[in-house]
Every structure is written in C-alpha cells, then in structure tokens.
Amino acid sequence: MADSIQQQLQQLVLLSDSVGTAGTGVGAGSVSTVEEAMEQLGPLIHSVYRANKQKLFRQQVDLFAQRKDAEIMKLCGNYHQEFVQSVAQLLKVRQNTSELQEKVVGLNAELQLSGKSLYEKKAELLSLRREHGNIQDAVDAVRGCLDVVRLVAGFDEQVVGKQYYSAIKTLSALKDQSLPQVRRFAFGRMLESSIPHMETKLQGAALRDMKDWLFGLKKTTRDIGSHLTSRMQRKQGMWAERDAAVQERYFVSSAVQFVLDEEYDHDEPLTVDMMPLYQCLHINEKLGRRAEFRRSFTEDRSDQLSLILASPVQFALAQLAPFEAMLFDVIGFFVVEHGILASAPDFRSKADVDTLWDAGIAKLSDIIARSIQTIRGDPAISQALQGSLTTFTYVMEENAYDVRKLRELMMAIFGV
C-alpha cells in the first residue's frame, strides 16, 4: 500500500513539475495538465481515506518532502560556491563602479576647471591677436605716412635744387602709389588736397628757369646773329671773287650758292642750350598743362620779338650800329625758333613761327618806312643799309625762312 501511495505521489510531483515548466506560457495545454493533476489527486485522497491510511499518507508525504529537500540542498551545495563567487565579483564590480564614478566626477570637475581656464586663455589670446592686428595696422599706417612725408620732403628739396625730372617722378609716385595707402587718414586727405599746390609750385619753378633762360638768350641771340652775319659777309666776298674770275656771267640763285659754298664752310656752328625749355615742356606735359604752357610760350616769344624791334634806332651813317644790332637780335631770335621747330615740332608748329616771322618783317618794314626820306636822301646811308639788309636776307634764307617780302621791301626802297 505504501509503495502504491509513493508511486502516485511521484507521478503527481512529475506532473506538477511539467505544469511549472509549461506555466511560463499561458495556453490550453497548461490548463489541461493542471486538470489532469487534480483528477489524479482526487482518487488518491479518496482511496487513502477509504482505506483509513491517512497517517501513512502523511508519512509518505513527509518522506517525499524530505527527499526533495535533500535534492534541493544537494543542488544548492553544488552551485553555492559559484554563487558566492559571483556575488563577491558583483560586489567588487559595484565597488569598482562606485570608485570609477567618483573618479569620473572628479575628472569632470577637473575638466570643467581646465575648460574654464582654456576659455579664459582663448579669450585672452583673441584679445591679444586683435591688439596685435591693431598695432600692426598702426605701424603700417605710420610707415605709409612716413613714406609720404619723406617723398614730400624730397620733392621740396628737388624743386629747390632744380632737379625737376626727379621732382616730377617723386610727385607721380606720391600720387599713384603712396597717397592711396593713407587716403583714409585725415593726414593723407590733407596731403592729397595739397597736390595741386605742389604741381603749381613745380610748374612755377620750371617756368621761372625757362623765363630766365629766355632773358639770358638776349646776349646769345645777338652773338648768333653777329656770327652768322660775319659768316655770310665772307661768303658774299667769295661770291664776288668767283664772279670776277668768270668771264661769262650766269645767274646763280642764292640757294645754289649756299650748296656750292658748303665744302669751303669750316666755321663751327654756335649752339644754344635748350635744356630749360625742354625741361619745362616735359614738366607741363606730365602735369597735363601742355596747352597752357604753349600759349604762354607763344605770348612770351611774341613779346620778346616786340622788345627787340622796339629798340631805338637812327639812320645816320655813324649811327647804324643800333640798327645792325637789332638785325643781329632778329637773326638770333629766329635761328633759335628754327631750332625749337626742328627739335619739338609737336610743340612749336611751323605756322606759329611763320606768323611770328611775318609780324617781325612787318615791324621791320615800319621802322624803315618811318625814315625812308632820310635813307633815300643820303646815298652812303642807303648803300650801307642795302648791304646790311642784303646780308640779313641771305642769312634768313639760309635758315629756311621766306624772304620774298624782304626782297620786295628792298626793291621798293633801293630799286634792286
């Protein structure tokens, strides 16, 4: 009987274990297994009470429980050491985790402090960079201003020292290179506003030198006129000797005579230093004032010719020297004009020179016309004046001037 009860209890335990393992999922299978266990338990208890074996049933249940407890203890004994080690490791990990958390918190605090210090250093660095940039800008600005001041001082020294070519280069560098760099400063704008004054100063200095040169030409032009007149008189003497040696006379124009005499002409030509004129012309071209200078020069030359022809003269045999000196001045004046025309045709046109020449011949004719009675009344004066005018005509013709009006004047006065 006891074995039977033991077997039935074993089956119920197995059935309950299967119910426990299957109970993780809720479904029709688990419900039916529980119902089967209850159905088997009922008949077992009924048979125990019917046979009056309650005490035996309790004993078997207790034994069964003791066996299960023993199995549980055995099972726990097998895995207890591993469980204890796992718990110990878990506690150690927990402790390490706490320590690591403390270190992380400390590190975070240090990082916050370092970050704050780095931020402050970065802000200080940016401020220093801005200051350095401002200082560099200031240094560049001062250096640019010093360059401008140096150029302005050099310009003044060059103008005073009459180094006009260097002065115009300095002024050009000042306007095109240096001033644009400091224009944003009040100093630069002030200097830029003074550029026209500097240009006028340079132009005025070059113009004064040129006018001084024109004034100094008075003696030079008279020397040129005297030299060319003496040279032409020698040629006229050669022509007379040549005509006397030739039995058959043929008419030869003065132009042909000039060509024939070139191989016998060994006189060194007088030269005029025109550097002040060219220098002044160059300055005015660079300053954009060429037309203004051209008008001024034309007026100055016209006034200078008027002064030459306004010299007092008397047509007396012993007093022809002033008139001859006037002719020397006129010759030298127009020889210089011819040189300017040849070297700077775009500045001094042939029309300008021809206009001046025609005006000069007209005034010379007026001077002679005012004393025509005195000239015709004295054969000696007439002959001397005719010789002077003839030589003057040849000199001017040799220098490529139109002398037809001069010949007409001589024809009207002397009939030759």
Tokens at 409, concatenated: 């004047």
Written as tens digits, the pLDDT of the chain (416 aa) is: 556 666 666 665 555 555 444 444 444 455 566 566 667 667 777 777 777 777 787 887 788 788 888 888 877 777 777 777 888 888 888 888 888 888 888 888 888 888 888 888 888 899 999 988 888 877 887 787 888 888 888 999 999 998 999 999 998 888 888 888 787 878 778 888 888 999 999 999 999 999 898 888 888 889 999 999 999 988 888 877 766 665 544 444 454 444 445 545 555 666 788 888 999 999 999 989 999 999 999 999 999 999 999 988 877 766 788 899 999 999 999 999 998 988 888 888 899 999 999 999 999 999 988 888 888 888 888 888 889 999 999 999 998 899 999 898 888 888 76
Tokens at 369, concatenated: 């016309």
What is the sign of the dihedral through the CA atoms of 388, 391, 395 and 397? positive
Tokens at 229, concatenated: 């007149």
DSSP string, 235-297: HHHHHHHHHHH-SS-----HHHHHHHTGGG--PPPP----HHHHHHHHHHHHTT-HHHHHHHH
pLDDT at 38: 64
pLDDT at 269: 61
Tell the residue number behind the tokens 């500045």, with chain if given: 347
Nearest by Cα to 348 from 308, 393, 302: 302
> What's the pTM value of the predicted model, to 2 decimals?
0.63
Are 36 and 12 a contacting pair, CB within 8 Å?
no
CA separation, residue 91 to residues 79, 80, 98, 353, 399 (Å): 18, 16, 10, 122, 128
Local structure of 127: helix, strand or coil: helix
pLDDT at 80: 72
Nearest by Cα to 227 from 238, 219, 239: 219
Angle between helices 290-309 and 321-343 (to 10 degrees): 160
